[in-house]
Chains A and B, each alone.
Chain A
Amino acid sequence: MTQNLFEPPWSADCGPGPWGGKLADLGGLLRMGDATTPDKVAVADPKTELTYRDLETAALNMAHILRDRWGITPGDRVVVLTKKWPIVPAIAVAIWKLRAVYVPIDADLPAERLSSMIGRARPALTVGFGPAIVQGHPHLDISDWHQLTKDRPDDIVRPLPGPDDIAYIIHTSGSTGKPKGVQITHQSLSAYFHAHNQMLQFGAGARVLSFAPFHFDVSIEDTLLPLSVGAFVYLYNRPAVGMIMRRTLARQRITHLIAVSTLLAVLSDDASEIHPDCFPDLEMIMTGAETCQPAILNLWKSARPDLRVYNVYGPTEVTIVCTGFELKIPEPGRTTAFPIGRPLAGVDIRLLDPAGQDITGADQPGELCLGGVQVMAGYLGDPAATAEQIFERSGVRYYRSGDICSFDVDGDLVFLGRADSQVKLNGRRISLGEIQSECMSLPGIDRAVAGLVARGKTQLIGVVLVSDDPDAVARARRHLDRVLPAYARPSLWDSVSKPNLSGTGKSNDRDLLARLSVCVSG
């Protein structure tokens, strides 16, 4: 059947093909849709609809521009200052057609952070929807991206990627200090596509709701993977209002929903709308990236027993998702989070105790280490940080996640917490250590303690400064506005002139943060 000529082997429609080290042709990611259903809408948002033909035409035009006008060659890094707009997948594919490296970065970061991130990425070109925000690099403004979808140029004779070529770099914050560029190879991404689509089951008929911003690796899962099998993706780029999200789900006849736990909670905020007859097209719900309240997953599975409901886990460093748990039977009385399950095909896991010994028994905590083909090549330009996180055992490369987990009696992994001071809020990794060290980099601030403080149903980042300067909070705030993205900035502040010098540093920290909790509730 000619129809399946371009169908990638991980498509649900052709069954889970064997991985066998077969590389995905990322430059040809849109070819199946373009060849078999050119007039089908591939990706849409409330304002724009782009067909597969539009997207592939734009990718080809863009690849010509990148190669012929900007001299992009294999291995070059191309930074894309993203917005959640339907044209972005075409830009990624254009970069891949040249075997260059796709580096999506959030255009809305504070200029100083953006500047240091881009500086360290040393891109051959930055591409954005507007003039350059950061000077000093060649910049291509694609505000008039509509032009790219017109008139198809000649095909690009594509150099085939090697397994170890870098496909993309996505930034994540380390436990202390600056964001790090995680380099993922073609081989890792190919293996991920094969392994994860056995669970997701995206086929050409899938209609996927995408929440993830393009600088987040989940966008590769919820947008690029479905596009590779000829599916439809609807980009949700409106404010997160439960009622509007549910209407979108119904109107767009969404079949597959992937939402970080915070967004799934918003989407589920009216339990009366989640009932046996709701969203008849919906087949699958997947959440992850942070701990999800068990009541939310129970709600969906109880109302719609036919839904496939998953809780998944994966650090950016191990290609998006590495383990998953399917909730098959609701557990209404459950108060603890559902497990994060078992590794995807091709992912090796080890749970190590502090001495580095394997833990195999149930209910013993250890650090989760993830090994195999999905493990990153390394952090860009930071071999020391890479060496800290990566180790080899029995010939397999493992990533030390810093996440403390245990096995439950069924052999499923259970997430218990972080080994360091990282926290997750709204699905984003936030380093409390970075907040503290940035505050303490200012003169006259002796100590800073950052932590999560509960307010009502939400959690906020709070900081207490130890300083004699009455202006300390204002100064620290101004500083963090410049160096941290908005989601990582503390919203609760307090300062004390002398710390209550009692007990260990830890309990002292707790006393300081308790001050903030009192302020909030009082």
Chain B
Amino acid sequence: MPDTIPFLDDVRALIAAELSGTDIAELAPDTKLHTLGIDSLTAVNLVVALSAQTGVDLEDFIDDLETPDSIAGLCDIVARFHSATV
């Protein structure tokens, strides 16, 4: 997996806010969320927060969303939110 992918910084910032004290430089795209102490319900909350940040209605996406299990999965969801707003 490449070292950087679109929206990585946004996702890193969100996770840093969620988990105080996390060194965000360590968060490579293929980092599994559970290794950060993010369980599936917390992951869903991150998706809700990202939808609010991007200004999209989560319900337009929900049928095709799977609960993300990695940083890259979260970045992918942000990319989908963004492509819907342009």
Contacts and interface: CB of A to CB of B under 8 A. Distances in A.
Given A239-B47, A239-B67, A458-B42, A244 B37 contact: no
Nearest to B47: A239
Interface in A465-497: 477, 486-487, 489, 491-492
Contacts of A266: 41
Interface string B3-26: 000000000000000000100000
Given A239-B47, A240-B44, A46 B63 contact: yes
Contacts of A506: none
B62 A491 contact: no
Nearest to A459: B39
A458 B21 contact: no
24 contacts: A47-B63, A238-B62, A238-B65, A239-B47, A239-B62, A239-B65, A239-B67, A240-B41, A240-B67, A241-B44, A241-B47, A243-B58, A243-B59, A262-B41, A266-B41, A426-B39, A426-B40, A458-B42, A477-B35, A487-B40, A489-B34, A491-B39, A492-B37, A522-B21
A490 to B, nearest CB: 9
Contact of B39 (A241, A244, A247, A460): A460
Interface of B: 21, 34-42, 44, 47-48, 58-59, 62-63, 65-67, 69
Given A458-B41, A460-B39, A244 B34 contact: no
Nearest to A481: B32
Contacts of A69: none
Given A244-B62, A491-B37, A492-B37, 16 more contacts: A47-B63, A238-B63, A239-B47, A239-B65, A241-B62, A243-B58, A455-B37, A458-B39, A486-B40, A487-B39, A487-B40, A489-B34, A491-B34, A491-B38, A491-B39, A520-B37
Contacts of B44: 239-241
Interface residues of A, number: 24
Helix, strand, loop or mixed for chain A's interface? mixed
Contact of B59 (A244, A477, A491, A520): A244
Interface of A: 46-47, 238-241, 243-244, 247, 262, 266, 425-426, 455, 458, 460, 477, 486-487, 489, 491-492, 520, 522
Nearest to A516: B37
Top 5 nearest A-B pairs by Cβ distance?
Answer: A491-B37, A46-B63, A239-B44, A239-B67, A238-B62
Contacts of B36: 491
A244 B35 contact: no
A477 B36 CA distance: 12
Given A46-B63, A238-B65, A243-B58, A491 B41 contact: no
Contacts of A477: 35
A487 B41 CA distance: 11
B41 A486 contact: no
A302 B41 CA distance: 27
Contacts of B35: 477, 491
Contacts of B37: 455, 460, 491-492, 520
